[in-house]
Amino acid sequence: MQAAYRAAGISLPRTAQEQYDAGPHLPPTAQLQPGDLVFFGQSPSDVGHVGIVTALGEMVDAPHTGTVVQTEPFPTRVGAKWGEDIYVGATRPAARAGEA
């Protein structure tokens, strides 16, 4: 995530939890756009995974360390199950004044 956003001139923290906490958070009913970040975990304070939206219900991610980056589906309703986790929410990071 960091490398993809860095290429767009946007700085992100390192971990999925830090990226989620950095926001800005989208409302649960927001229409997701390509490039939005979607987060998964046990709760908003226990986020362990992040993906980049490519299309409605589809994201690019690496399922776990050492695997190939891939496109896969995800639930679009906040709180829905995604494997062992739930879809916690989404953010739309943007360049802040003075960055890039």
CATH code for position 86: 3.90.1720.10
Q: What's the pLDDT at 40?
A: 96
Domains of the chain: total:
1
From the number of C-beta atoms within 10 Å of its C-beta (0-12, 13-18, 19+), residue 83 rates as: exposed
Q: Residue 19 domain-assigned?
A: yes
What's the rounded mean pLDDT across residues 54-70?
Answer: 85
**pLDDT band, very low/low/confident/very high, at 30 (cuts 50, 70, 90):** very high
Query: What is this structure's pTM?
Result: 0.88
Phi-psi region of 35 (alpha: psi -120 to 50; beta: other; left: phi over 0): left
Q: What's the pLDDT at 99?
A: 43
Q: Residue 97 domain-assigned?
A: no
